[in-house]
Amino acid sequence: MSDFEFPEYYSFPPFFTIQPVSATRQKQLALWRDLILKYHTANKEKTLVVHDCTLWKNEGIQRELNRDNVRLICEDFVNNGNGEWEDEAKTRIRIMWKKPEELAGDLLAWADRSGFKGQVCTLYELSSGEDSEGASFEGADEELIRRALAILEERGQVAIFKGDTSEEDGVKFF
Amino acid sequence: MAHRRRGVGVGKKKATKSGNDTSSAAQALAKDLNEGDLEFVKRSLSSLESELTKFATQHADSIKTDPAFRSKFLKMCALLNIDPISSKQTLLGSALGIGDYYYEVAVKAAEVCMATRTKNGGVCSVEEVKRLLRKKGSSMTKVSTDDILLSISKLGVLGGGFRIVTLEKKPYVVSVPTVLSSDHTDVLTVAQSDETGEKGCFSISEIFNVKGWTEERAERAVETLVREGMAWVDEGGAGGKAKPQFWVWSVFFQQDDEDE
């Protein structure tokens, strides 16, 4: 695993019991969303497998979420636009490290910074190229990058060209 | 001082001398003395205040930047019944601008309390407020516990429920108007106490053991704390088989006072 540092609230025992009071529960769910997102982003993991996620259990304080609570937290995570169900049976979630709109902004800022304005690069270069090292979208899900680019294309800030394979699709930043 | 001592001495002699005349003579003397004393006191006070102002202006920097120095200075002012914080009109207040500093602490402390309210239900340890304020940087990097206590006490005047509650000698800022009865603070004190189970935690049976309350009374107090978001419910003890426990966010995450 990575050197992900768990937030302090991960060791707060009632964090693993869904709170009965609405205001507290809303806060709790927001903390879970944040945790799931940060954990997967830090570890560069793109998928959350519902029945097999280490986050649900904290051995250190002997607390774990029961199945219903896992379900609730996952649904809330997806409903907030932080992820998408990958399958009908809702067993896997594609994690949106960032929401497409946020990523679109990152892409644009990056192109500006690294002199890609007016240049063409491939989708592969964006997710795995040397120039994107350290960028928020490095290693990001291709689908997610595409969605961010689609937003930019709509705004007329990029143009997308078909390549031989999907990874070779080109992007021109204006 | 010399003037005053002599006065008192003379008075005593006269008063013991004769019987009947005593009261009127004493009254005349008292009037005399009072006028003298009053003038004396007035003079000393005004000279004291001007000395204090001189001192404050000379040490303005230390007062503003050194929490320990500031705290001592304020204690000195308090002894003289001078409030340099709220009296901006006075020479002292305006010379220092110290009131502005406390207003700033108060506003920022209020901000911090509001921001953490959903997690801790509006109960936040002063230590935590201090830590968060210091993280804000700039003028707040050296804010002290005393500064915060003082600022909150000034905020309280404005209403809105800001006040300090002390649990087991640890001060907490309460930033919600919820009325906390002594039962509520007693329960929070059980959470604060190290002797009874883990820090930040309490259960109905624990309250029963410590306070000897009926289950009903304990439950009523706990219910309010949970409803107000001050305590979180934990049903995960002993693999989910234990009776529910309750945890107080701000007590659980309380940092020990490392510096001052």
ipTM attached to this prediction: 0.70
Closest by CA to A169, choosing from A151, A141, A152, A145, is: A145
- The alpha-carbon radius of gyration of chain B (Å, integer) is 26
Do A79 and A22 fall within a single domain?
yes
- Given the DSSP bridges, would you call strands A120-122 and A170-173 parallel, antiparallel or unpaired? antiparallel
**pLDDT for residue B258 is more than 60:** no
Do the domains B178-260 and B101-175 match in fold? yes
Greatest Cα pair distance, chain A, in angstroms, is 55
Sheet harboring B170-174: ordered strands across? B123-125, B170-174, B163-167
Residue B195 carries which side chain, given as an amino acid letter? E
Tokens 């302090």 map to which residue?
Answer: A8
Per-position DSSP letters for B132-179, written without gaps between them = HHHHH-GGGTT--HHHHHHHHHHHHTT-TT-EEEEETTEEEEE-S---
Residue B26 carries which side chain, given as an amino acid letter? A
Report the SS3 class of residue A47.
Answer: strand
Is A26 in Cβ contact with B235 (below 8 Å)?
no
Do A21 and A91 fall within a single domain?
yes
CATH number of the domain encompassing residue A55: 1.10.10.570
Which residue would you say has higher pLDDT here, B42 or B2? B42
Looking at chain A, how many residues does it have? Answer: 174
Cα separation, B36 vs B49, whole angstroms: 20
What is the enclosing helix (H) or strand (E) of A113? Answer: helix A100-113
A interface test, pick of B128, B223, B234, B253 with most A CB neighbours within 10 Å: B234
Query: CA of A12 to nearest chain B CA: how many angstroms apart?
Result: 8
Looking at chain B, how many residues does it have? Answer: 260
pLDDT in tens, A133-165: 777 777 777 888 888 899 999 988 888 888 777
Query: CA of A15 to nearest chain B CA: how many angstroms apart?
Result: 8
Number of domains comprising chain A: 2
Chain B, nearest residue to A63 by Cα:
B236
What DSSP designation does A152 have?
H
Query: CA of A13 to nearest chain B CA: how many angstroms apart?
Result: 6
The last residue of one of the domains, among A95, A110, A143, is A95
Please, what is the Cα angle at B167 between B165 and B173, to 5 degrees? Answer: 35
Is B253 in Cβ contact with A8 (below 8 Å)?
yes
On whether residue A3 sits in a domain, the answer given is: no
Do A42 and A91 fall within a single domain?
yes
Chain A, nearest residue to B254 by Cα:
A8
A163 touches chain B (CB under 8 A): no
Query: CA of A1 to nearest chain B CA: how many angstroms apart?
Result: 26
Q: Are A145 and A94 in contact (CB under 8 A)?
A: no
Is B240 in Cβ contact with A16 (below 8 Å)?
no
Q: B178-260 belongs to which CATH class? A: mainly alpha
Cα separation, B99 vs B86, whole angstroms: 6
**pLDDT for residue B79 is more than 50:** yes
Fold of B101-175: Arc Repressor Mutant, subunit A (1.10.10)
Do A53 and A108 fall within a single domain?
no
Is B252 in Cβ contact with A62 (below 8 Å)?
no
List of chain B residues whose C-beta atoms are within 8 Å of the C-beta of residue A12: 232, 247, 249, 252-253
Domain residue limits, chain B: 49-97, 101-175, 178-260
On whether residue A21 sits in a domain, the answer given is: yes
* Residue B255 burial by Cβ neighbours in a 10 Å radius (0-12, 13-18, 19+): exposed
List of chain B residues whose C-beta atoms are within 8 Å of the C-beta of residue A21: 226-227, 229
Q: Are B88 and B94 in contact (CB under 8 A)?
A: yes
The last residue of one of the domains, among A47, A71, A95, is A95
CATH number of the domain encompassing residue A152: 1.10.10.10
Per-residue pLDDT tens, chain A, 174 aa: give them: 457 889 999 999 999 999 999 989 999 999 999 999 989 988 888 899 999 899 999 999 999 999 999 999 999 999 988 888 988 889 999 988 788 888 888 888 888 888 888 888 888 888 777 777 777 777 777 888 888 899 999 988 888 888 777 777 888 888
Q: Where are the alpha helices (DSSP H) in chain B?
A: 2-17, 22-58, 60-65, 67-79, 91-96, 98-120, 126-136, 145-156, 182-192, 204-211, 215-227, 249-252
A70 touches chain B (CB under 8 A): no
Domain range for A53: 8-95
What DSSP designation does A164 have?
S
pLDDT in tens, B81-97: 776 666 555 555 555 56
Q: Choose the closest CB to B234 out of A8, A9, A14.
A: A14
